[in-house]
Chains A and B, each alone.
Chain A
Amino acid sequence: MATIIIDGQNYDLPEGAKFNAIQAARHFGIEIPYYCWHPALSVVANCRMCEIEVGSKDASGEIKMLPRLTPGCQTPVRDGTVLVTDSVKVLEHRKNIMELLLINHPLDCPVCDQAGECGLQDYSYSHGRAEHRFVEERNVKPRKEVSDLIVLNTDRCIMCTRCVRFTREITGTAELQVMRRGDHGEIAIFPDHPLDNPLAGNVVDLCPVGALLDKDFLHNQRVWFLSKHDTICTGCSTGCNISSEENAGKVWRHKPRHNPYVNDYWICDEGRYGYKSANAPDLLAGSYILDGGDHHGATSDRFFKRLNEDLTHRILDKQSVLAIFSPFLSVEEAFSAASWVKHLTNRNTMALGPVSVLGQDQTYSPDKLTGRSGDTSFLVPRPFTISAEKSPNKAGVSFVINHFQGSNVVSFEDALKLVPSNPIVIVFGGSPNSDWITPEQSAEIRKAERVILFDTTINVLADAADYVAGMATFAEKAGSYVNRDNRLQHFDAALPLRDGVWTLLDILAILRGVGRSPIESRTILAEAAEKILALAKAVGGQVPEFGLNLTGQDALIPDAGFQDDWTMASLAKA
């Protein structure tokens, strides 16, 4: 067992941990402020914010300290390592660094998007000095358009080179570089080579200050007005952990959340900007019944009554049901929907789709060497994949269907061929894209006697179906998805439900006659876990922070959970 001493206190390092001083201190709740270090990037130790006093304790118990300050990011901890993070020398040094970082800084926080989540603001407040001694002219540096989506304010840059290292070490695309020297240095792109790789947006999150900013978000919201909700990206079957940030009934941006088993610290740009469909103006806003060739809005009471009567009548007539499940449904939605279909009649067929697959999986596999500029001894490189399968829950929905109808899940394409033998077609949608179904496919389904659609967007099938119920979008619902690696992950709702719209869970509860009080997704998951073997690990509907590996055992990751978040970093100590 390795024991280290931080600020005079003994701590036992977790087994297998290869921590630097920042990680070790954070592990025990002690903050060492940092800028240039990032857990997924090589160590270059250029900002000098993380400096502490370092020493070691030998077998005889004698402690020897190094005479000079040492960067914590560059300091490995092992048995006997002594760290001092709170001495006058260390605290004074932090004040000096903060002063130096700000002498050429424009300090235009009132018009800076980063304000409120800025490493300079946070650390000025917690580690800075109240006065500054700089009375010279500040350097003036330009604002640069580095891509259609990202702007670079070089005057706010603190030259931590995180962004540069990201493009070299993670994406391997190397669009960014440093040009010029000394305090005239600037981050730059090569002319006509914009920063436009599929992961480019991550540099905005990596940037500790307001230098790299997202033009899509620029001047839209002050970040302190945003409420953050832990959700899962629905863009592909990777299931990146994201924070969906909302205010005034709109989602304004998606930010990655760290999950070492899934997306590490990143998301792709497609997922980042995937928030937009949550705010789409043309969502299904209520329930509709097709009458005399026209859709008429119906109160929910009327809608459920008519639908129930119609179905009961037809089921008594021994009409069979074809139920189509979208891979955008949550596990809970699929489970409730399948239960309802089963409850209606045993004469049913359950199909899954459409599952859209675009191109190939795109995997970034950083290693310890390629493109790395600094020390990589603390790094545990983790891959990142943008999946070709563009939906979040094919696996979860399959588990459910498998359970209800044995092992053969019918594909969407095969389902279309079954329409003639099934007078009732029920479609449980949920895709944020209104073009999830083509006019031809819609026409095929319309051949059924009764078409019932639960969905979020106005699309060709909604135009044709007999019963259309608007339901909660991906941003308005909570639940869980199972990703490509059979990891079950929970997500919260980001937006409140729009008036006139229900969650699919509530709709199904009413249709099943279970009740009219809002249904908790965790209750449904608990029930599913009891019934479905593949979901058995989700006992009581509980899903841990990094999700549940349904088919295997997770490797232990000692540094898991290190959020690279300035606001948290400074609040941790407060």
Chain B
Amino acid sequence: MAAFEPVLSRNWNNPDILSVKTYESKGGYVGSRKALTTMSPDNVVDLVKASELRGRGGAGFPTGLKWSFLPKDRKETFMCINGDESEPATFNNRYLVEKDPHQFIEGILIGCYATKANTAYVYLRFEYIKAIQILEKAIAEARVAGHLGKNIYGSGFDLEIWCHRGAGAYICGEETGLIESLEGKRGWPRIKPPFPAIEGAFRKPTVVNNIETLACVPHIIERGADWFKSMGTPKSYGPKLYTISGQVNRQVCVELPLGVTTNELLEDHGGGVWKGRKAKAAVPGGISMGLLKKEEFDIPLDFEEIRKTGCLGLGTAAVTIMDDQTRIIDYLYNTTRFFAHESCGQCTPCREGTGWLYKTVSRIRNGGGRTEDLDLMSHLANNMGITPGTTICGLADGAAWPIKNALAKYREELEDFIKHNQNPAYKITAGQDAISRGKSPLASNTSMFVPGIGLAKSLTN
């Protein structure tokens, strides 16, 4: 196999690439011209299908397949590009926009041509002010240069791109939360079906794709599906931007074929663990995905293999390394705090469960833990998310996975922590303890909990 040649990041060292002229001179907008002038939209969809490109936004859904779900007889289609990028430690989308905006615009253009979308909305994370400025300038230049607007390249295809800045909510990265937010509503994910392909933005057929997903498309058009599939591992093809952060010497975003291992990333690109320490664990692709033990660092980080470790998936391929002095309880504290803060609050299991988990982990961390708290956490985690079918969106799964993985992989450490970290100030009272075990201090065989008639009933029994 030939040495890997980066494509997505090939221009990142060239600051001039922000100008449309430079991008064109480096072979830019060749793919889009080829697609729009020599291929039909269906040809493009078929080619992307053949490349087996899978979405880079987290779920890894096959992109060509997603595009083919659009109703054949649709009159209007919207393309929403997901640049909310709020998954902690993830910044590959930001690099793609800030360092090579025209590559991204070219990807949008081809994606929209393939899906017959004449309007594209780029939904960017609230904090990405610089990225928005760069992108808006690039869009303006691209229009002047004829890559956007009416009758692009004489193909009869029109496209306008609009930038929309989020307001700082993680949930607006979930595709239907994004659509609601885009429509000017509260970013509450919608129930599916209907899926966005059938009824999305403004109740019209809509495609939601990640920035990196679309950035791959021009290269597939130019170089073909076989080229794309020459990289990666089975069912996980193509180049991928990995970010590496946490307790490493170098925090970077690197482009590699799908399926590198955590070890390779850490040693070859992250410069090893900081302060000369050893690694303990890693978050494989944003904290929603769970936890990898050091022993699992040689598992390929792709869409399939990673799941065998019990992790939720590849996620955003944002790898965060924890050194051997990191406590799992601190890791749990950070993750539960994040999800309790970011749960949109619609679904009962997620709204209440994330808050409950955060409070319980905080109490344990403060020295008020009981071993059975771990069973409670496990029960809560196992019953929230779209995996058990109890929530609308996957945020709850992301909130559950760190708990599940930590309990499966580090239960002993957590039990040990509880045993050796007891602080009377945070201990729950005997009464609370009794109630939580189904024993009321007032009545021997009943509960205080069933309100109203339940209580009345229990007292008359």
Contact = CB atoms under 8 A, between A and B. Distances in A.
Interface string A25-53: 00000000000000000011111110100
B447 A182 contact: no
B453 interface: yes
Interface in A46-105: 46-49, 51, 66-71, 74, 93, 96-97, 100-105
A177 interface: yes
B115 to A, nearest CB: 24
Interface in B139-190: 169, 171, 185-186, 188, 190
A182 B450 contact: no
A116 interface: yes
B275 interface: no
A182 B345 contact: yes
Given A124-B454, A177-B186, A369-B203, A139 B347 contact: no
Nearest to A70: B389
A109 interface: yes
Nearest to A96: B383
B189 to A, nearest CB: 10
Interface string A172-216: 000001101111110000000000000000000000000000000
A131 B440 CA distance: 9
Given A46-B347, A120-B451, A100 B353 contact: yes
Contact of A135 (B186, B191, B433): B433
A525 to B, nearest CB: 40
Contacts of A100: 348-349, 352-353, 356
Interface residues of A, number: 60
A136 B185 contact: no
A48 B436 CA distance: 23
Contacts of A115: 451-452
A118 interface: yes
A374 interface: yes
A373 interface: yes
A69 B454 contact: no
A369 B386 CA distance: 27
Given A45-B191, A46-B348, A100-B348, A132 B454 contact: no
B391 A109 contact: no
Contacts, number: 158
Contacts of A177: 186
Interface residues on B, range: 35 or more
Contact of B351 (A74, A129, A159): A159
B224 to A, nearest CB: 38
Interface string A410-454: 000000000000000000000000000000000000000000000
B344 A181 contact: yes
A128 interface: yes
Interface string B27-55: 00000000000000000000000000000
Given A124-B450, A124-B451, A182 B354 contact: yes
Contacts of A97: 348-349
A375 interface: yes
Provide the main secondary structure of the chain A interface. Answer: loop
Interface centre among A100, A139, A161 (most CB of B within 10 A): A100
Contacts of B437: 131
Contact of A46 (B186, B376, B392): B392
B161 to A, nearest CB: 27
A158 interface: yes
Given A128-B454, A178-B186, A44 B353 contact: no
A218 interface: no
A125 B390 CA distance: 22
B191 A44 contact: yes
A370 to B, nearest CB: 12
A375 B193 CA distance: 9
Nearest to A89: B388
B343 interface: yes
A249 to B, nearest CB: 27
A573 interface: no
A545 to B, nearest CB: 28
B424 interface: no
Interface string B378-400: 00000100111111100000000
A131 B449 contact: yes
Of B191, B344, B353, B432, the most chain A CB neighbours within 10 A belong to B191
A272 to B, nearest CB: 25
B117 interface: no
Contact of B452 (A49, A74, A116, A181): A116
Nearest to A184: B345
Interface in B356-392: 356, 359-360, 363, 376, 383, 386-392
Contact of A109 (B194, B346, B435, B452): B452
A130 interface: yes
A121 interface: yes
Contacts of A133: 376, 436
A225 interface: no
A129 B376 CA distance: 15
A68 B353 contact: no
A137 interface: yes
B194 A139 contact: no
Interface in B75-117: none
Contact of A183 (B169, B351, B386, B388): B351
A11 interface: no
A133 B185 CA distance: 36
A178 B169 CA distance: 15
Interface string B427-457: 0100011011111000000110111111101
A572 interface: no
Given A68-B388, A124-B451, A130-B446, A183 B345 contact: yes
A66 B389 CA distance: 10
A182 B344 contact: yes
A180 B356 CA distance: 17
A48 B388 CA distance: 12
Contact of B185 (A135, A137, A373): A373
A134 interface: yes
A2 interface: no
Contact of B449 (A132, A137, A158, A185): A132
B169 to A, nearest CB: 7
Contacts of B305: none
B348 A101 contact: yes
B341 interface: yes
7 contacts: A66-B389, A104-B352, A128-B449, A132-B436, A135-B428, A181-B169, A182-B340
The 3 lowest CB-CB distance pairs between A and B, nearest first, are: A68-B389, A131-B438, A69-B389
Interface of A: 43-49, 51, 66-71, 74, 93, 96-97, 100-105, 107, 109, 115-116, 118, 120-122, 124-125, 128-137, 139, 158-159, 161, 177-178, 180-185, 369, 373-375
Given A101-B352, A135-B436, 20 more contacts: A46-B347, A93-B390, A96-B390, A97-B348, A125-B452, A125-B457, A128-B454, A130-B438, A130-B446, A130-B447, A133-B376, A134-B436, A136-B359, A181-B343, A182-B341, A182-B345, A183-B351, A369-B203, A373-B188, A374-B190
